[in-house]
Amino acid sequence: MNTSSRSVGRARRLQRIIVLPHAVEPPPAANCSLRLLRRATIPPRATEVFGWIRAHGCAGTLASLGRAYLAPTDAAAIESLLRAGRHEPAAQRFFKRFSDRCFPLEYPWAGDASGRLLVELTRGIQHEGYGENWEEYGDLWSLKPVFLLSWSLMEDPYGALRDEFVQDDIVDQEQASPDRLCDEAREAIAQLAELPVEELFSGVPPDGFPVDQLRPRLSGTRWEPLLWAAPWLWCVTGNSFLDQRSDDFAEPDPWSLPTVLRLAAEFREALRVMRVIDAFNTWLCQNPAERARSAVEAALGPPSDRISSLLDLPIVDVCARCSQSRVAPAQ
Protein backbone atom coordinates (compact mmCIF):
# COMPACT_ATOMS: atom_id res chain seq x y z
CA MET A 1 0.00 0.00 0.00
CA ASN A 2 2.74 2.37 0.86
CA THR A 3 4.51 1.67 -2.42
CA SER A 4 1.38 2.16 -4.52
CA SER A 5 0.37 5.34 -2.69
CA ARG A 6 3.82 6.77 -3.20
CA SER A 7 3.63 6.02 -6.95
CA VAL A 8 0.28 7.77 -7.23
CA GLY A 9 1.57 10.85 -5.38
CA ARG A 10 4.68 10.97 -7.58
CA ALA A 11 2.55 10.82 -10.72
CA ARG A 12 0.37 13.70 -9.49
CA ARG A 13 3.41 15.83 -8.75
CA LEU A 14 4.84 15.19 -12.23
CA GLN A 15 1.49 16.14 -13.76
CA ARG A 16 1.56 19.44 -11.96
CA ILE A 17 5.16 20.16 -13.12
CA ILE A 18 4.66 19.32 -16.82
CA VAL A 19 3.71 22.45 -18.85
CA LEU A 20 1.03 21.65 -21.33
CA PRO A 21 1.39 23.22 -24.83
CA HIS A 22 -0.68 26.36 -25.48
CA ALA A 23 -1.52 28.60 -28.43
CA VAL A 24 0.91 31.51 -29.14
CA GLU A 25 -0.78 34.95 -28.90
CA PRO A 26 -0.27 37.29 -31.94
CA PRO A 27 1.78 40.51 -31.40
CA PRO A 28 -0.21 43.61 -30.57
CA ALA A 29 -1.39 45.64 -33.55
CA ALA A 30 0.42 48.93 -34.26
CA ASN A 31 -1.82 51.72 -33.10
CA CYS A 32 -1.47 55.38 -32.24
CA SER A 33 -0.35 54.63 -28.68
CA LEU A 34 2.47 52.38 -29.81
CA ARG A 35 3.64 54.92 -32.35
CA LEU A 36 3.71 57.62 -29.71
CA LEU A 37 5.61 55.30 -27.40
CA ARG A 38 8.12 54.60 -30.15
CA ARG A 39 8.63 58.31 -30.80
CA ALA A 40 9.14 58.90 -27.08
CA THR A 41 11.75 56.20 -26.75
CA ILE A 42 13.67 56.69 -30.06
CA PRO A 43 15.42 60.08 -30.50
CA PRO A 44 14.34 61.98 -33.65
CA ARG A 45 16.71 62.55 -36.52
CA ALA A 46 18.82 65.71 -36.64
CA THR A 47 16.97 67.01 -39.71
CA GLU A 48 13.65 66.73 -37.91
CA VAL A 49 15.05 68.60 -34.92
CA PHE A 50 16.45 71.40 -37.09
CA GLY A 51 13.19 71.63 -39.03
CA TRP A 52 11.20 71.87 -35.81
CA ILE A 53 13.48 74.60 -34.43
CA ARG A 54 13.36 76.57 -37.67
CA ALA A 55 9.58 76.30 -37.96
CA HIS A 56 8.99 77.52 -34.42
CA GLY A 57 11.57 80.28 -34.79
CA CYS A 58 9.90 81.47 -38.00
CA ALA A 59 6.50 81.22 -36.31
CA GLY A 60 7.64 83.61 -33.59
CA THR A 61 8.98 86.05 -36.19
CA LEU A 62 5.74 85.88 -38.19
CA ALA A 63 3.72 86.65 -35.07
CA SER A 64 5.87 89.73 -34.46
CA LEU A 65 5.44 90.86 -38.07
CA GLY A 66 1.68 90.47 -37.77
CA ARG A 67 1.59 92.66 -34.67
CA ALA A 68 3.78 95.30 -36.35
CA TYR A 69 2.13 95.64 -39.77
CA LEU A 70 -1.40 94.21 -39.63
CA ALA A 71 -4.65 95.12 -37.94
CA PRO A 72 -5.07 93.76 -34.39
CA THR A 73 -7.77 91.30 -35.48
CA ASP A 74 -5.56 89.83 -38.21
CA ALA A 75 -2.55 89.67 -35.90
CA ALA A 76 -4.62 87.81 -33.27
CA ALA A 77 -5.93 85.36 -35.90
CA ILE A 78 -2.40 84.63 -37.10
CA GLU A 79 -1.18 84.02 -33.54
CA SER A 80 -4.10 81.66 -32.95
CA LEU A 81 -3.21 79.66 -36.06
CA LEU A 82 0.45 79.51 -35.04
CA ARG A 83 -0.38 78.26 -31.53
CA ALA A 84 -2.48 75.51 -33.12
CA GLY A 85 0.50 74.45 -35.24
CA ARG A 86 -1.14 75.58 -38.51
CA HIS A 87 1.88 77.44 -39.82
CA GLU A 88 1.01 77.39 -43.51
CA PRO A 89 -2.50 78.94 -43.12
CA ALA A 90 -0.95 81.57 -40.85
CA ALA A 91 1.68 82.44 -43.48
CA GLN A 92 -0.96 82.58 -46.21
CA ARG A 93 -3.13 84.91 -44.12
CA PHE A 94 -0.23 87.27 -43.44
CA PHE A 95 0.69 87.21 -47.15
CA LYS A 96 -2.81 88.22 -48.24
CA ARG A 97 -3.55 90.74 -45.51
CA PHE A 98 -0.20 92.53 -45.86
CA SER A 99 -0.55 92.67 -49.66
CA ASP A 100 -3.99 94.27 -49.30
CA ARG A 101 -2.90 96.69 -46.57
CA CYS A 102 0.56 97.91 -47.74
CA PHE A 103 1.82 96.67 -51.11
CA PRO A 104 1.60 93.37 -53.02
CA LEU A 105 4.09 90.71 -51.93
CA GLU A 106 5.33 88.00 -54.27
CA TYR A 107 7.18 84.83 -53.32
CA PRO A 108 7.96 81.79 -55.48
CA TRP A 109 6.41 79.54 -52.81
CA ALA A 110 3.13 81.43 -52.40
CA GLY A 111 0.23 78.98 -52.55
CA ASP A 112 2.49 75.98 -51.95
CA ALA A 113 1.68 73.60 -49.10
CA SER A 114 5.32 72.69 -48.41
CA GLY A 115 5.76 75.26 -45.64
CA ARG A 116 8.43 77.21 -47.53
CA LEU A 117 6.31 80.37 -47.59
CA LEU A 118 6.71 80.77 -43.82
CA VAL A 119 10.49 80.62 -44.13
CA GLU A 120 10.60 82.97 -47.13
CA LEU A 121 8.29 85.49 -45.45
CA THR A 122 10.41 85.77 -42.34
CA ARG A 123 13.60 85.92 -44.43
CA GLY A 124 12.71 89.29 -45.96
CA ILE A 125 10.41 91.34 -48.20
CA GLN A 126 9.85 90.30 -51.80
CA HIS A 127 7.34 92.34 -53.78
CA GLU A 128 5.79 92.32 -57.22
CA GLY A 129 7.59 93.79 -60.21
CA TYR A 130 6.02 95.64 -63.14
CA GLY A 131 9.04 95.95 -65.41
CA GLU A 132 9.11 94.23 -68.79
CA ASN A 133 11.86 93.04 -71.09
CA TRP A 134 11.39 95.19 -74.19
CA GLU A 135 13.75 92.95 -76.18
CA GLU A 136 11.14 90.20 -76.09
CA TYR A 137 8.90 92.29 -78.36
CA GLY A 138 11.25 91.59 -81.27
CA ASP A 139 11.35 95.17 -82.59
CA LEU A 140 10.59 98.67 -81.38
CA TRP A 141 7.69 99.13 -83.79
CA SER A 142 5.50 96.95 -81.58
CA LEU A 143 5.86 99.30 -78.60
CA LYS A 144 3.19 101.81 -77.64
CA PRO A 145 3.69 105.32 -79.06
CA VAL A 146 4.30 106.83 -75.62
CA PHE A 147 7.38 104.64 -75.18
CA LEU A 148 8.61 105.40 -78.69
CA LEU A 149 8.24 109.17 -78.22
CA SER A 150 9.99 109.06 -74.87
CA TRP A 151 12.80 106.98 -76.36
CA SER A 152 13.09 109.41 -79.29
CA LEU A 153 13.77 112.34 -76.98
CA MET A 154 15.82 110.72 -74.22
CA GLU A 155 19.38 109.46 -74.26
CA ASP A 156 19.22 105.69 -73.80
CA PRO A 157 21.77 103.54 -71.93
CA TYR A 158 22.55 101.36 -74.96
CA GLY A 159 24.60 103.71 -77.15
CA ALA A 160 25.34 102.97 -80.79
CA LEU A 161 24.35 99.46 -81.82
CA ARG A 162 24.90 97.80 -85.16
CA ASP A 163 23.89 94.36 -86.25
CA GLU A 164 26.98 92.25 -86.84
CA PHE A 165 25.70 91.04 -90.22
CA VAL A 166 25.17 94.62 -91.44
CA GLN A 167 28.59 95.60 -90.15
CA ASP A 168 30.24 92.81 -92.19
CA ASP A 169 28.69 94.19 -95.40
CA ILE A 170 30.15 97.66 -94.87
CA VAL A 171 33.49 98.08 -96.64
CA ASP A 172 34.40 101.64 -95.70
CA GLN A 173 34.01 101.96 -91.95
CA GLU A 174 34.69 105.70 -92.11
CA GLN A 175 31.53 106.23 -94.15
CA ALA A 176 29.43 104.08 -91.86
CA SER A 177 27.14 105.91 -89.45
CA PRO A 178 26.25 104.23 -86.15
CA ASP A 179 22.82 102.66 -85.91
CA ARG A 180 20.98 103.83 -82.82
CA LEU A 181 17.88 102.38 -81.29
CA CYS A 182 16.55 105.92 -80.83
CA ASP A 183 16.70 106.38 -84.63
CA GLU A 184 14.37 103.43 -85.07
CA ALA A 185 12.03 104.84 -82.42
CA ARG A 186 11.98 108.21 -84.24
CA GLU A 187 11.13 106.56 -87.52
CA ALA A 188 8.20 104.76 -85.90
CA ILE A 189 6.85 107.98 -84.35
CA ALA A 190 7.33 109.91 -87.59
CA GLN A 191 5.39 107.27 -89.50
CA LEU A 192 2.58 107.41 -86.92
CA ALA A 193 2.47 111.20 -87.14
CA GLU A 194 2.86 111.10 -90.95
CA LEU A 195 5.71 113.60 -90.78
CA PRO A 196 9.33 113.48 -92.02
CA VAL A 197 11.78 112.38 -89.34
CA GLU A 198 14.14 115.31 -89.95
CA GLU A 199 11.30 117.81 -89.64
CA LEU A 200 9.74 116.30 -86.52
CA PHE A 201 12.97 115.91 -84.54
CA SER A 202 14.82 118.94 -85.82
CA GLY A 203 17.10 120.28 -83.09
CA VAL A 204 17.10 117.06 -81.02
CA PRO A 205 20.63 115.72 -80.41
CA PRO A 206 21.41 112.53 -82.36
CA ASP A 207 21.67 110.52 -79.13
CA GLY A 208 18.78 112.33 -77.44
CA PHE A 209 18.73 114.61 -74.41
CA PRO A 210 20.24 113.49 -71.11
CA VAL A 211 17.46 112.99 -68.60
CA ASP A 212 18.93 115.70 -66.36
CA GLN A 213 18.27 118.23 -69.14
CA LEU A 214 14.75 117.01 -69.88
CA ARG A 215 13.55 116.84 -66.29
CA PRO A 216 13.50 120.62 -65.59
CA ARG A 217 11.66 121.22 -68.90
CA LEU A 218 8.98 118.53 -68.59
CA SER A 219 8.40 118.15 -64.83
CA GLY A 220 4.98 119.30 -63.69
CA THR A 221 3.69 119.61 -67.27
CA ARG A 222 1.47 117.42 -69.42
CA TRP A 223 4.67 115.98 -70.91
CA GLU A 224 5.98 114.60 -67.62
CA PRO A 225 4.96 110.98 -68.42
CA LEU A 226 7.66 111.05 -71.11
CA LEU A 227 10.25 111.27 -68.31
CA TRP A 228 9.05 107.89 -67.01
CA ALA A 229 8.00 105.88 -70.07
CA ALA A 230 11.39 105.02 -71.59
CA PRO A 231 13.17 104.61 -68.22
CA TRP A 232 10.39 102.22 -67.20
CA LEU A 233 11.10 100.29 -70.38
CA TRP A 234 14.82 100.23 -69.53
CA CYS A 235 14.19 99.46 -65.79
CA VAL A 236 16.15 102.53 -64.65
CA THR A 237 13.42 104.69 -63.07
CA GLY A 238 14.72 104.35 -59.52
CA ASN A 239 11.38 102.85 -58.45
CA SER A 240 11.68 99.33 -57.02
CA PHE A 241 8.39 98.15 -58.53
CA LEU A 242 8.94 99.60 -62.01
CA ASP A 243 12.56 98.44 -62.26
CA GLN A 244 11.91 94.83 -61.23
CA ARG A 245 10.66 92.56 -63.98
CA SER A 246 7.66 90.39 -63.31
CA ASP A 247 9.61 87.15 -63.76
CA ASP A 248 12.53 88.17 -61.51
CA PHE A 249 12.89 87.56 -57.79
CA ALA A 250 15.42 89.98 -56.35
CA GLU A 251 17.20 89.63 -53.04
CA PRO A 252 14.72 90.26 -50.21
CA ASP A 253 14.75 93.53 -48.32
CA PRO A 254 15.00 93.29 -44.53
CA TRP A 255 11.83 93.70 -42.50
CA SER A 256 11.92 97.14 -40.90
CA LEU A 257 9.48 100.01 -40.57
CA PRO A 258 11.50 102.45 -42.74
CA THR A 259 11.75 99.83 -45.50
CA VAL A 260 8.00 99.10 -45.42
CA LEU A 261 7.15 102.81 -45.50
CA ARG A 262 9.54 103.42 -48.41
CA LEU A 263 8.22 100.51 -50.46
CA ALA A 264 4.62 101.52 -49.76
CA ALA A 265 5.36 105.01 -51.10
CA GLU A 266 7.10 103.57 -54.17
CA PHE A 267 4.13 101.29 -54.81
CA ARG A 268 1.72 104.25 -54.78
CA GLU A 269 4.09 106.12 -57.07
CA ALA A 270 4.35 103.18 -59.47
CA LEU A 271 0.56 102.97 -59.74
CA ARG A 272 0.31 106.67 -60.56
CA VAL A 273 3.12 106.48 -63.12
CA MET A 274 1.60 103.49 -64.91
CA ARG A 275 -1.83 105.13 -65.00
CA VAL A 276 -0.61 108.46 -66.39
CA ILE A 277 1.56 106.71 -69.01
CA ASP A 278 -1.42 104.71 -70.20
CA ALA A 279 -3.62 107.84 -70.26
CA PHE A 280 -0.92 109.82 -72.09
CA ASN A 281 -0.62 107.08 -74.71
CA THR A 282 -4.37 107.25 -75.37
CA TRP A 283 -4.24 111.04 -75.60
CA LEU A 284 -1.20 110.94 -77.91
CA CYS A 285 -2.85 108.53 -80.34
CA GLN A 286 -5.83 110.86 -80.79
CA ASN A 287 -3.70 113.48 -82.59
CA PRO A 288 -0.15 112.10 -82.99
CA ALA A 289 1.17 114.70 -85.43
CA GLU A 290 0.31 117.83 -83.44
CA ARG A 291 1.09 116.34 -80.01
CA ALA A 292 4.36 114.72 -81.03
CA ARG A 293 5.50 118.06 -82.48
CA SER A 294 4.45 119.86 -79.26
CA ALA A 295 6.39 117.32 -77.18
CA VAL A 296 9.56 118.01 -79.17
CA GLU A 297 9.04 121.76 -78.73
CA ALA A 298 8.68 121.29 -74.97
CA ALA A 299 11.88 119.24 -74.88
CA LEU A 300 13.70 122.04 -76.72
CA GLY A 301 12.10 124.83 -74.67
CA PRO A 302 13.02 126.54 -71.40
CA PRO A 303 12.66 124.98 -67.92
CA SER A 304 9.11 124.82 -66.61
CA ASP A 305 10.10 125.62 -63.00
CA ARG A 306 7.41 123.26 -61.74
CA ILE A 307 7.42 120.47 -59.18
CA SER A 308 6.70 116.94 -60.27
CA SER A 309 3.16 115.79 -59.57
CA LEU A 310 3.99 112.06 -59.70
CA LEU A 311 6.49 111.65 -56.87
CA ASP A 312 5.41 110.25 -53.51
CA LEU A 313 7.18 110.84 -50.21
CA PRO A 314 7.12 108.10 -47.56
CA ILE A 315 5.81 108.70 -44.06
CA VAL A 316 8.57 109.77 -41.70
CA ASP A 317 9.50 107.22 -39.05
CA VAL A 318 9.80 109.55 -36.07
CA CYS A 319 10.76 106.82 -33.61
CA ALA A 320 13.70 105.66 -35.68
CA ARG A 321 14.51 109.25 -36.74
CA CYS A 322 14.77 108.00 -40.27
CA SER A 323 13.21 109.54 -43.34
CA GLN A 324 13.66 107.85 -46.68
CA SER A 325 13.55 110.64 -49.28
CA ARG A 326 12.33 109.82 -52.74
CA VAL A 327 14.85 110.34 -55.55
CA ALA A 328 14.01 111.28 -59.10
CA PRO A 329 14.16 108.72 -61.91
CA ALA A 330 17.67 107.47 -62.53
CA GLN A 331 19.42 108.12 -65.79
Instruction: Decide: helix, strand or coil at residue 219.
Output: coil
Flag the least confident range among 94-103, 105-114, 197-206, 317-326: 317-326
Q: Mean pLDDT over residues 161-189, rounded?
A: 61
Residue 138: pLDDT above 70?
Answer: no
CB atoms within 10 A of CB 218: 27
Give pLDDT, residue 50: 41
Residue 161: pLDDT above 70?
Answer: no
Q: In sequence order, what are the residues at sequence separation of 6 or more whose Cβ sits closer than 8 angstroms to the Cβ of residue 101? A: 69, 70, 71
Percent of the chain with pLDDT over 90: 50
pTM above 0.75, yes or no: no
CB atoms within 10 A of CB 43: 9
Residue 163: pLDDT above 50?
Answer: no
Q: Mean pLDDT over residues 171-196, rounded?
A: 76
Residue 153: pLDDT above 80?
Answer: yes
Geometric angle at alpha carbon 132, from 130 and 137, rounded to 5°? 150
Give the DSSP letter of residue 202.
Answer: T
Rounded Cα gap, residues 104 and 243, in angstroms: 15
Which range has the top average pLDDT, 60-64, 227-231, 319-323? 227-231
Give pLDDT, residue 327: 35
Rounded Cα gap, residues 260 and 328, in angstroms: 19
Question: pLDDT (tens digit, 9 = 90+) per residue, 213-258?
Answer: 999 999 999 999 999 999 999 999 999 999 998 777 778 999 999 9
Across the chain, mean pLDDT equals 79
Flag the least confident range among 55-64, 139-148, 162-171, 239-248: 162-171
Residue 21: pLDDT above 90?
Answer: no
